[in-house]
Structure 1
Amino acid sequence: MTLYSKIIGTGSYLPQRRVTNQDLTEQLAAKGIETSDEWIVSRSGIRARHYAAPEQNASDLGVAAARNALQMAGLQADALDLIIVASSTPDFFGSFPSTACIIQNKLGITNHCAAVDVQAVCSGFVYAVAAADSFIKSGMHKNVLVIGAEVFSRILNFDDRGTCVLFGDGAGAIVLTASTEPGILAAKLHADGSHANILSVPGSVAGGALAGSAFLHMDGPAVFKLAVSVLEKVAVEVLEQAQMSAAQIDWLIPHQANIRIMNSTARKLGLPLEKMVVTVDQHGNTSAASIPLALDIAVRDGRVKKGDNVMMEGVGGGFTWGAVLARM
């Protein structure tokens, strides 16, 4: 009997505070930094994003998304035997203890299920799904909760208009379970550490003090160029692995970073833009949370249906990239 991992529940959560481009424009103008709604939209497609409240951490956002996913899956939290959390903004420095362990506790899970964080920045959710798929196919785990949760507003430099306007906070989650019915059809992951400097938070802690910078730093043109280059290639790799064609993709859900990158990927795959799920305009770039957030919205509004083939792909600092093809 062939064992597959299948998505049986999706969930998401956005913090209450919604920040429009006009809100940011006014905030930056008070500092003498010039920007505008037109400037932001033309470069990224972003019109708004959400920011977490001061008392909210990545785990709080992740728990809310997880509860929604578990409810859709029809599972109690204690039915889980593995939690994987993708986040670049964990509750504690160095992800120590892991945000996954904190979420396990906040969900009230007492069965001592495994819990671990994955760090691949904006590709983190894709990496986490690929790992969960392997754990399930090996027979080691049966029900796996995968979460992408971010509070990027905490690492933004609001004196840098080139980065602070791009990112937002949020969380998305899926529940994967062992199934005899095909679910995750193929996955491919890559990284190239020679590009580590183009997107990073170049700070570290020594002797209890910060060395370097705790703000996000990005070489926008370099990231754009690399992302456009790798996203189509990894999607083609996954399709080849699944022995499928791009025409069989019902929905493309790319990492929601920049509408120009997203449109370019769809065109290279020969997909009409109507087959791409877009949330970047309302959420901004929520890093590891962006794909599961978009997936949940498309599932709940009825676009993504049972049996649909969904291509999910992302790029992130590291430099990392990857794609997963799933049959819902």
Structure 2
Amino acid sequence: MAIKITGTGSYIPNVIEKNEDFYQHQFLNSDGSTINASNKVIVEKFKAITGIGERRYAKKTLNTSDIAFFAAEKAIENANINQEDIDYIIVAHNYGDVKHNTEQSDTVPSMASRVKHLLKIENPRCVAYDVLFGCPGWIEGVIQANAFIKSGIAKTCLVIGAETLSRVIDPHDRDSMIYSDGAGAVIVKNTDKEGGILAHETATFALDEAHFIFFGETNNPDINDKRRYIKMYGRKIYEFAITNVPKAMKSCLDKSGVDIMDLKKILIHQANEKMDEAIVKRFYKLYNMEMPEGIMPMTIGKLGNSSVATVPTLYDMILNDEMENQQINKGDVIIFASVGAGMNINAIIYKH
């Protein structure tokens, strides 16, 4: 018996926002002062650090719950299950439904209840709830699904990561270029097959790190409205991540009993290309190894950072042969790993 992902689905918005589209923005420092560089130089430096050339935004008429529903439909179809047999719907997000050009996040009812409604599931024993866990939310949802199934209170869970970060970015902040929208979903089931979830690890660092990512005011001092935007201390996050994420990944791999040489892919949260590379290189350094070529598939260059959606969309795209020179085959051992607001870190060792 094994607890496995038996179906996947994703929704990648079709509105493309290219780096050149930010040339007309008025970027300011966090204190409101002018940046002593042209927007073209700012954007070029941003691309060199993050690897992002373009990102995807949801259509104005769509909300987080809508795109979560789209991904869920695909995962259910891919798993070939009756949706009335789903025991839990777990939706990871951070900001709920933020309608285009509004200042308020709407989280009542929960995103999971909205998805259940859109799926037209009648079974009241299908329990729907949300996970607020920063960017690692989808992975944590899978860990929770695993616990439910192991305990015997569930057989089938739908776990979704969905976000529309384009609705909560400050146009006067350079960091706004990082964020994007998207949704990914999986069906997690108890099966009679081998493999599945072999080990998992989660940690929250909140003594000094809790507010590394936060909701703050615009960088533009001339704007007096009360709207708040996603903000972060980038350098602190970078140092935190490259120090702590490799250790968590190693702890998880060692717990699983899998040899490092048998690891085929690392599906890491698409936060920042340079940071992700540094994390994976340090992970392999803990085993006195060099990072193997092709071990870390990346979508951030085209899709940006869609928070909880980056890992499940990456996984779905690989399984559907939508990424060049990237495959996950039966029996392959992979790592799902993420880091984000909280500050939270988690990882799963998974045998496909």
What is the deviation of 1:212? 6.4
What is the deviation of 1:58? 0.7
1:276–1:120 CA distance, 2 compared to 1 (3 A): same
Q: Give matches, 1:45-124, under 5 Å.
A: 45-91=51-97, 93=105, 95-112=107-124, 113-124=126-137
Runs of 4+ off more than 6 Å: none
Give the one of 300, 309, 315 matched to 2:339.
Answer: 315
Q: Conserved in 2, the CA contact under 8 Å of 1:9 and 1:174? A: yes
CA–CA separation in structure 2 for the residues paired with 1:293 and 1:116: 21
Q: Normalized against structure 2, the TM-score is what?
A: 0.85
CA–CA separation in structure 1 for the residues paired with 2:177 and 2:18: 10
CA–CA separation in structure 2 for the residues paired with 1:265 and 1:35: 29
Q: Deviations over 1:66-92 (max 9, x none)?
A: 111112111132221111000012127
CA–CA separation in structure 2 for the residues paired with 1:228 and 1:94: 34
Q: Give matches, 1:270-281, under 5 Å.
A: 270=284, 271-281=291-301
CA–CA separation in structure 1 for the residues paired with 2:85 and 2:23: 46
Q: Conserved in 2, the CA contact under 8 Å of 1:4 and 1:133? A: no
Structure 1 gap segments, 5+ residues each = 204-210
Q: Normalized against structure 1, the TM-score is what?
A: 0.91
Match of 1:297 in 2: 317
**What's the C-alpha RMSD, in Å, of the aligned pairs?**
2.0
Give the one of 245, 256, 261 matched to 2:270.
Answer: 256
Match of 2:23 in 1: 25
Identity of aligned residues (%): 31
Match of 1:177 in 2: 189
Larger Rg: 2
CA–CA separation in structure 2 for the residues paired with 1:119 and 1:202: 18
What is the deviation of 1:213? 5.1
The size of the alignment, in residue pairs, is 317
Q: Deviations over 1:264-294 (max 9, x none)?
A: 1222233314011100111111101110011
Instruction: Choose between structure 1 and 2: higher helix proportion.
Output: 1
Q: Deviations over 1:42-84 (max 9, x none)?
A: 1101111111122211111111111111121111322211110
CA–CA separation in structure 1 for the residues paired with 2:89 and 2:331: 25
1:35 aligns with 2:49: no
Give the one of 214, 221, 224 matched to 2:228.
Answer: 214
CA–CA separation in structure 2 for the residues paired with 1:4 and 1:15: 33
User: What SS is found at the alignment partner of 2:337?
Assistant: strand
User: Which letter does structure 2 place at the counterpart of 1:101?
Assistant: S
Structure 2 gap segments, 5+ residues each = 28-33, 99-104, 218-224, 285-290
Give the one of 141, 144, 161 matched to 1:128.
Answer: 141
Q: Deviations over 1:16-35 (max 9, x none)?
A: 21111112224458xx9743
Match of 2:101 in 1: none
